[in-house]
Structure 1
Amino acid sequence: MNPEQTTAERFSYTLERTLEAPAAKVWSAWTTAESYARWSYAAPGSVEMDVRPGGAWKATIVTPDGGQFPLTGSYSEVRENQRLVIGMDVPGKNEPAFMTVELVEQSAHQTRVVVSQTCDTADERDLAEQGTTMLLDSLTAFLKTAA
């Protein structure tokens, strides 16, 4: 398959949100296991993070109906308080799915977060976008209550 076909046959989304928190606080929420577990729908004690290029992560996500989904992956790019590229292992696929999280500090108390991901199918994209929207909603609420 040539690169043009690969790009044309993949499906992307990008979500943006302005958060009422400095970039360092948003970064910490996304990269500290204890904080991440509090807003990401993760099962207690299931989050482990080695936030560095090549470092591994894992979490077990709990769905509203009580289902549990173990997730694993690694970080491919880490620029503190700016950019995080997270690889997610996908069962049955040789290559991980990548999610990019970019932080742009707009003031001492506001950060724009931009999350993007490319998926293989429209259905995968729609599910991923829905999940990311839920995560951003939860992160927004967490940052309002976190000290």
Structure 2
Amino acid sequence: MTTEQSTAEGFSYALERTLEAPAAAVWSAWTTAESYAHWAYAAPGSVEMDVRPGGTWKATMVTPDGGQFPLTGSYFEVDQNRRLVIGMDVPGKNEPAVMTVELTEESAHQTRIVVAQTCDTADERDLAEQGTTMLLGSLTDFLKTAH
């Protein structure tokens, strides 16, 4: 059973789902380059992750129409199996976009995930929330086949 909740306030959003997987499996999906590439619409071989505070990441994302765009960023907070705070570099902006991923293990086979982000405008928030909704859907499908 997947439950989903979305809240938006100002230029922020938070998406919450209950995933049918233990927290360690969800963590691994977010922090292992091969797994992340599989579910997060990244070009094969393009994902690099140094998952530690101050570590960097990069990935080339593939759009539904086949376009590709590179993303880079860094990790601000890393609390294994619990919390990731990820910065994403934004062209033309001095400060990175920040996404928070929080995991709460509800049982041995269920984890609540909350993904939150604050954006500069309502349009940016809407696009980011739409993208995160797609990612969570793909993550849900990946976890069903991953364990």
TM-score range, shorter chain: over 0.9
CA deviation vs aligned residue, 1:28-78 (integer Å, no higher than 9, x gap): 000000100000000010000000000000000000001111000000000
Structure 1 consecutive aligned stretches of length 4 or more whose deviation exceeds 4 Å: none
- TM-score normalized by structure 1? 0.93
Match of 2:116 in 1: 116
What per-residue deviation string (whole Å, max 9, x for no partner) do you get for residues 3-44 of structure 1? xxxxxxx61000001000000000000000010000000001
Structure 2 counterpart SS, 1:17: strand
Match of 1:128 in 2: 128
Task: Calculate the TM-score normalised by the size of structure 2.
Answer: 0.93
Give the corresponding residue for 1:5: none
Q: Please list the CA deviations of residues 60-104 of structure 1 after superposition, one character each: whole Å capped at 9, or x if unmatched.
A: 000000111100000000000000000000000000000000000
Number of residues of Structure 1 aligned to a counterpart in Structure 2: 138
* Aligned residue number for residue 138 of structure 1: 138
Provide the residue aligned with 2:72 in structure 1: 72
Residue aligned with 1:45, SS = coil
Distance in 1 (alpha carbons) for counterparts of 2:145 and 2:61:
21
Q: Which runs of 5+ in 2 are unaligned?
A: 1-9
The equivalent residue for 2:54 is 54
- Matches of 2:91 and 2:19, distance apart in 1: 33
Secondary structure at the residue paired with 2:66? coil
Q: Which one-letter code corresponds to 2:59 in the other structure?
A: A
* Percentage identity across paired residues of the two chains: 86
Q: Equivalents in 1 of 2:109, 2:39: separation in Å?
A: 20
Matching residue of 1:3: none
- Name the amino acid aligned to 1:64: P
Measure, in 2, the Cα distance between the counterparts of 1:61 and 1:118. 21
1-side partners of 2:35 and 2:115: how far apart? 18
